[in-house]
Amino acid sequence: IFFAAPLSFPTQTLLRVEQGRGVGEVARDLKERNIIHSVLLFELTEKLFGGRVVAGEYAFERPESVVAVARRLARGDYQLEPVKTVIPDGASAREIASILSIQLVDFDVTAFYAEARQKEACSSGTGCNCNCRLRKALGRGAYNGLYS
């Protein structure tokens, strides 16, 4: 029963695994989010697949066993589908945000606008910081290099 997915498994959800996170930290996140039953069982199962997890953003469309979850995280099997989007030439930041918010599940409009303002400052030569974080603003899949 502990190998099976929890009854409260959150379908249609995303899990972000940050670079440098250990198996134990990830296991606790998985348990808190009802993706697995047991931290210990996940850690033991993960050891069978090399004892590490690959950073990135993972989509969970339906319940999965602890073995399936461990295998996916060890292999970097994100199960994210790339989204092809057309941005018309000359589109304003507002128009781009509108298009992307429809196409991307967790698109952060506020972060996108902040980044667009920063890019505008960079191109105008005023207030340039060049610590640009546009990939974060893009949301789902951006950490996996799907949207560039």
Whether 27 has a pLDDT exceeding 90, the answer reads yes
Query: Which long-range contacts does 20-27 make (Cβ < 8 Å, 24+ apart)?
Result: 20/55, 21/53, 21/55, 23/51, 23/52, 23/53, 26/53, 26/73
Which residues sit opposite 58 in a β-bridge? Answer: 15
In whole angstroms, give the CA distance from residue 53 to residue 49.
Answer: 9
Instruction: Report the chain's mean pLDDT, rounded to a whole number.
Output: 82
Give the rounded percent of residues in the chain with a pLDDT score beyond 90. 45
Q: Which two tokens stand for residue 42?
A: 């996940």
Domain residue ranges of the chain, discontinuous segments joined by +: 13-75, 93-144
CATH fold group of domain 13-75? Dna Ligase; domain 1 (3.30.1490)
88-126 pLDDT tens trace? 998 888 899 999 988 887 788 888 888 887 776 665 555
Model pTM score: 0.62
Cβ atoms 50, 116 nearer than 8 A: no
Question: What's the distance, CA 71 to chain centroid?
Answer: 17
Element (H, E) at 40: helix 39-48
